[in-house]
Amino acid sequence: MAWIAYLSALVAIGIFVRSLIARREDSKLSHIPLVKFDENDTQERYITSTRDILHQGYLKYGKHGQAFRMRNPVDGGHSQVIMAKSYLDEVKNASESRLSFPLYSIQSFLLKYSRSVLPSPIAAHVTRIDLNKNLGELVAPMREECIDTFKTVIPECKDWAPLKLWDVFLPMISRMTGRMLVGEELCRNPEWIQLTIANTQGIMKSSMGIRALYSSRWQWLAPWTYPGRKDLVTLRRRAAELIEPVYMQRLAAFRGGTQHKYRDAVQWIIENSPEKPLSPAEVADALLFLYMAGIHSTSATIVSIVYDLIAHPEYVPALLDEIRHTLAESPEWSRQSLAKLRKLDSFMKESQRLNPVGCVTVQRSTVRPYTFADGLHLPANTFLSFPTYEFTHDAETYPNPDEFDGLRFHRMREEGDATKFHFATVSNDSTNFGAGFHACPGRFFVAHELKIILTELLMKFELVFAEGTRRPPDHCHDFTIMPNMQAEVRVREKQSFGI
C-alpha cells in the first residue's frame, strides 16, 4: 500500500501549495478597494444580492474611474476585480495571450474538471467569418424553421390558451440555430434538439455540483471522483454518433469535388480544415460549444422581449405598421428588409438594456501578471469584468434609465448616426454583447433570428399575461439574470394580420 501513502502525500502537498498561492495572489490585490456588505457578509448573500453589491461598488468607485474588488459569488478560488469603463479600451486591445476570454470560460465554468467541451478556435472562426458572410442566405431557412416550430409548440388556439414562453422559445432557438449549424435534417431531430439543450444545462449543473462538493483546493480531483463525471462525456459521445453520418457524407462529397453547396457550420468546418479533417468527435465538440454559447442566452433574450411586448401593448400598433410597410416593399424577408425594422430593433435593444442576461460582461482571466497603463496591477488568474448592468442603468448615459422607452434607440439613430445604436451594436456604452475581438461574433445572426420570430409572433398571435398586467420579475442568481421561466401567458390566434 506504499502507493496510497505516496498519493496521499502528493495530495497534501498539492493542497498546501494551492493554499499558499491563493493567499499570495489575494495579498497582491490589497491595493484595490474591497467592497463588501456591512452586515451579513456571507457567501450566500453574494449569490442572492449580487446586483446590490455591484451597485454599491459602482457608485463608490467604478463611476469615478476606479476598479474595485469583491468576493466572487460562485468561485472562491479566483480573485475578482470589477473594472471601470475607463479600462475598456485597453482590455479590448489586449491580446488573448495576456487577457483571455477562453481561459476565463474554462476556469469559471470548470470545463476541464467537468470534462465538458472547450472553447473551439475553428468554431469561433466559422461564426466570425463564414456565418456572417452567409447571413443573407440563411434568412429564408431560419424563417422556415420558425414557422414550423410555432406549429409544433403552439397548438391551434382560436380562443385564449395558456402558454409558457420558455417552453416555446428554447426548442425554437435550438432549431433555428441548428439549421445554421447542422443543416435541415439534423436540426429537426428531437434527440439532437434535446441533446443540445441538455449540454448547456449539464455544464451549469456540473460546475455547481463540483463547487458544492469540493472546495477550490480539491476541484482538480473532480474528473476522477465527481459522481456526475461521466454525464457530459456520454452526451458528447452521443453527439458524435449523431453527427458522424452527416459529416462523413459531406466530407466524402467535398473530397470528390461533387459537394452540394451547404450553408451550415458542418460544411464550413470541412472547408476550413481541408488538409487535416477533424474527427466526428471533434466536429461534435465544436458544434456543442456553439450551441452552448448561443441557445440559452438567446432564448432568455426573446422571452424578455415578449414579456415587454405584453407589458407595453401601446407599441404593438407602430411595430405592426412598420412590418406591414416593409413587407409591402419586399414580400419575402431578407437581410436588407429585416434591417428596415428600426422600431422593432429599438424595442429589442431597449428590452435587452433593461433586462440583460447577466450583470457583467467582457470577462477575462489574466494569463500572466498584467499591469494597465495607469499602473493598476493584477496577478495571474485574476478574473476581471465590467458591470454592464450599471452602464446601461446610468442616468448620465441613458436618461430615465429605469423607464422602458421602446423607441429610445430609434430616436438616437434618427437624431445621430444612423449606423449606431442598433441591436447588434457594441460600444463602450453598450457591452451586452461584449467588446473587442471577443464581442459575440454571432450577434448579427441573433438579431436576424429574433426579428424573424417577433414578426411572425406579432402578425399571427395576441398575447396577454395570465395574471395581472405587470411583467414577471426576473430571477437573479449571482451574475446571472434570467426571465421568469414558469410564468404563464395566454395566447390567441389573430383572425387577420395586424388585428
- Express each pLDDT in 152-172 by its tens digit: 888 888 899 999 999 999 999
- Give every CB contact of residue 24 below 8 A, 6+ residues apart in sequence: none
**Which residues are known binding-site members for heme?**
440
Each domain of the chain, given as residue ranges in start order, spans 32-493
- Express each pLDDT in 326-365 by its tens digit: 999 988 999 999 999 999 999 999 999 999 999 999 999 9
Q: Provide mean pLDDT across the span 386-396.
A: 95
Task: Give all strands (DSSP E) within 280-321, no chain letters.
Answer: none
HSE, CB side, 13 Å, CA atoms: give it for residue 143.
16
- Express each pLDDT in 462-477 by its tens digit: 999 998 888 999 999 8
CATH top class, domain 32-493: mainly alpha
C-alpha closest to that of 320 among 127, 455, 486: 455
User: Ramachandran region of residue 230, left (φ > 0), alpha (ψ -120 to 50) or beta?
Assistant: alpha
Note whether 305 and 357 are within 8 A (CB): no
**Which residues are known binding-site members?**
440
Note whether 15 and 364 are within 8 A (CB): no
Average predicted confidence (pLDDT) for the chain: 90
Local confidence band at 9 (pLDDT 50, 70, 90 cut-offs): very low
State the chain's maximal CA–CA distance in angstroms. 81
Q: Provide mean pLDDT across the span 120-131.
A: 91
Instruction: Measure the CA–CA gap between 372 and 94, rounded to whole angstroms.
Output: 10
- Express each pLDDT in 157-210 by its tens digit: 889 999 999 999 999 999 999 999 999 999 999 999 999 999 999 999 999 999
The pairing of beta strand 80-82 with beta strand 383-386:
parallel
Residue 489 bridge partners (DSSP): 163, 465
Residue 66 pLDDT more than 90?
Answer: yes
Would you give the distance in Å from CA 377 to the centre of its chain? Answer: 29
- Give every CB contact of residue 155 below 8 A, 6+ residues apart in sequence: 161
Residue 431 pLDDT more than 90?
Answer: yes
- Express each pLDDT in 236-286 by its tens digit: 999 999 999 999 999 988 888 776 788 899 999 999 987 788 999 999 999
- Express each pLDDT in 85-117 by its tens digit: 999 999 999 999 999 999 999 999 999 999 999
Place of cell 499591469: 371
Instruction: Measure the CA–CA gap between 55 and 229, rounded to whole angstroms.
Output: 37
